Structure 1
Amino acid sequence: MPIITPSLDLFVFSSLIAVLPSWYILRRSHRPKVSLRGTNPVASRPPYERVLTLLVHLHTLYVVYLLVVHWPPNLFSRLSLPITTPSDRIRSVLLDTADLGRDAPLPRPLEELLTKLGNAEVRVSYVRFGQTVIQDCVHCKTSDQYALFAAPGPALQYIREAIFVGLLTSEYSGRSRWRTFSIVGLVAAFFGEAWWTVSAPVDIPRDGTSPTMVHDNLYLFRHLLFILLPIVLSLLPASPILAPITPIAIDTKNVLNNLSKRIQLLKFLGPAIMRDEKLHEASDAAWRKNKRVGEWVREDRGVWNVASQFILAGKRPQEVKDGETALREKIQETVREMMKAAEPPVPAVPLP
């Protein structure tokens, strides 16, 4: 005995079958990873991972609802009648199923549908495009007209799915590199479905059996694709989200680029100065001036007092020569520390 209605019971059961395994798989795949150095776990989850996972589950429930509760109507499958059943026989079976009298009228859409089914070409279109298209298209007479009337429905569903896939593969999801493949796959599936709908062979059997309902099978395959594609995208590895570049980092990068270009020019500056007589004399005069200034600074007792406080860590030199030696040693030590800091780090695990 159904708890609510047969359709809703089947929907709840199908939803549990579809959502629980996907929830378990997504939960295991989105666990934080532990770094190789044995430090604290480092979460590689994109910032909106939980929201996108919730959207995938809601989308799965919606597609399952369309599959179970809103399955397209099919008069022949519902009444277990072959496709070659005459319209009068279909009418009598409908009246018996509804517990109505033989002379009771049917709803107008059903009457118009039974009238159209008197044409064998319409029955072939029924197999291709489904009952809804045959019943709703009042002006359609040929298979091409039914095809044009049926095209917007699946197209809108594929557009809706493409929008959802674009949301799952947005920039902040870490899966933007999969967007092109997903959209191309949906476009290929749409054109493949359209081609198979109009070109699939439909043979009306004469032995009382029904042919394969092309529309119903394509409806099932389409919605199975809509269920599996978001789940597969969620299981694919996500790229690391890079931190946004701050204005300070941009300014620092520009300064370093300019400094790097100037440093590269230094190796050409010395030979150029030596080849030009005027530049050579000016450079020699500048170096002699710097030498005199350096001698004045080294002989100034006040400079040594300040240097002893800030550079020599409070050591007051007794003689200029001793102070110069101590200052040179301090500078050499500082340079050695800078060179040591510039060395590449030693890997924690020795390379093979």
Structure 2
Amino acid sequence: MTATASCTAPDVVDVVALGESMVTFLPSRPGRLADVPSFDRGIGGAESNVACVMAAAGHTARWVSRVGEDGFGDHLVEAIGAYGVDVSSVRRDPSRPTGVYFRTAGDRAGDGHEVAYYRAGSAASAMAVGNVEMGAVRAARVLHLSGITAALSEDCLALMRELTAPAAGRPLVSFDVNHRQGLWRETGGPRILLELARDADIVFVGEDEAEEAWGVTGGPEAIRELLPEPGTLVVKQGAEGATVFERTPGPGGRPAAGRGGPVAPTRRSRICHSPAPLGSARPGRVVERAPHVSVVAPVGAGDAFAAGFLSGTLRGLPLRDRLRHGHLMAAAALTVPGDLATPPSRDHADRLAALDDDAWGRLRLGPGWTHAVDRAPEEVRTP
């Protein structure tokens, strides 16, 4: 697919993901960036990762962004398009470059981990209401956004506010908080992320990032107390699993969009709640453990989880199965070195998601597990 303009109304797709993608340089061996002799080129971007995983899982997906008129921009458009993602609404900027970044191997949370971003003044940071094809953005069943875009520039923030503003006929808005303190130019980032989340329909947030951004220490229930507006709130709890809260759907089966007004970030939600056991459920709330995974690299796992959950949402699956599909997509990303992995086939994922609780708890997933379709589910394990 090419990034040429179209005069016709865009087709409605399952998911549109808007945001910056960058060319990623992955080290050929562990060590400091100063010592790594060579790098392998890949692609990385929270929103485009979601679009790629969704397309690989059989959904129609569109990525909307801006890239430079350079070789790196060519690579991004071609590589993301190769996943089956519609890239026809990606615009080329002749005066701004495509963003790139370098990172060391291993866990980004580990000691000595380095990431070097070269994204300041990038083409994507110039996204604005006036230069993005808004019709293509809104022609979706789900519009997926993240807090990273809001941090790139004032124009990007204005675009995010326009897309999350409550409006009749807007697509279901999915918002991954993706708090990146280093991207924000001022201290108002947590407040802005809270405002955007309160106007979204589906929100993804990590338990740890909710504490970092908003000071919430009371677990998923305290985060829900802070964010009661979204129809669906997914709290990611790392290797332990995830908790989802969902209000009773309104007319047409869709929860009403959030209507929360601007409220300053708060440190008030330090309420202690009794944690529910993983794998438990009550009306409007489900907790599901993650399978055991032999982690190669953690990058891209959160995006893959969001894609799996959104896939299950679009398919009308129960909350437990949406979480399990999220965990399975995350496990695929965790067992490869880059941001993107070949996901399990839909049949394979459905078969694993349908396991009883005991069999689900016995899953051991390692590199290559997505291709192990000839084994019994409980045998899909690390060698």
- TM-score, scaled to structure 1: 0.20
Please identify which structure carries the higher helix content.
1
RCO (CA 8 Å, sep 6+): is it higher in 1 or 2?
1
Q: Which structure would you say has the larger Rg? A: 1
- TM-score, scaled to structure 2: 0.19
